[in-house]
């Protein structure tokens, strides 16, 4: 009986793992779609209107974690 419970719990955990992995992959794909340079510049311009350079770059890197510090600084210099 306990073996059956362990199998059922294992199968349930496997299904949850598959569902979460699928969701993560979808979210990563969506992030890549939204991470165009134009959207990054628009976000940075929006931040620049309200903040100074360093907080705006930090906010940009938080919004788009794939950007390096140098890339974020270069985007800041473009606006």
Our measurement of the distance from residue 20's CA atom to the centroid of its chain's CA atoms, rounded to an integer in Å, reads: 15
pLDDT value, residue 50: 62
43's tokens: 């976000």
Residue 6 CB partners (closer than 8 Å, separation 6+): none
pLDDT value, residue 48: 64
Does the pLDDT of residue 7 top 90, yes or no? yes
Cβ-contact 76, 51 below 8 angstroms: no
Q: Quick one: which of 1, 49, 36, 5 has its CA closest to 76?
A: 49
Q: Quick one: which of 66, 42, 46 has its CA closest to 55?
A: 46
pLDDT value, residue 30: 65
pLDDT in tens, 9-48: 999 999 988 988 887 777 667 666 666 777 767 766 776 6
pLDDT value, residue 47: 63
């Amino acid at each position: 009986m306990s073996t059956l419970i362990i199998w059922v719990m294992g199968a349930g955990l496997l299904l949850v793992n598959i569902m979460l992995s699928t969701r993560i992959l979808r979210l990563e794909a969506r992030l890549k779609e939204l991470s165009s340079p134009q959207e990054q510049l628009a976000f940075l311009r929006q931040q620049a209107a309200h903040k100074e350079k360093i907080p705006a770059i930090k906010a940009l890197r938080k919004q788009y974690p794939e950007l390096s510090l140098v890339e974020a600084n270069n985007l800041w210099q473009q606006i």
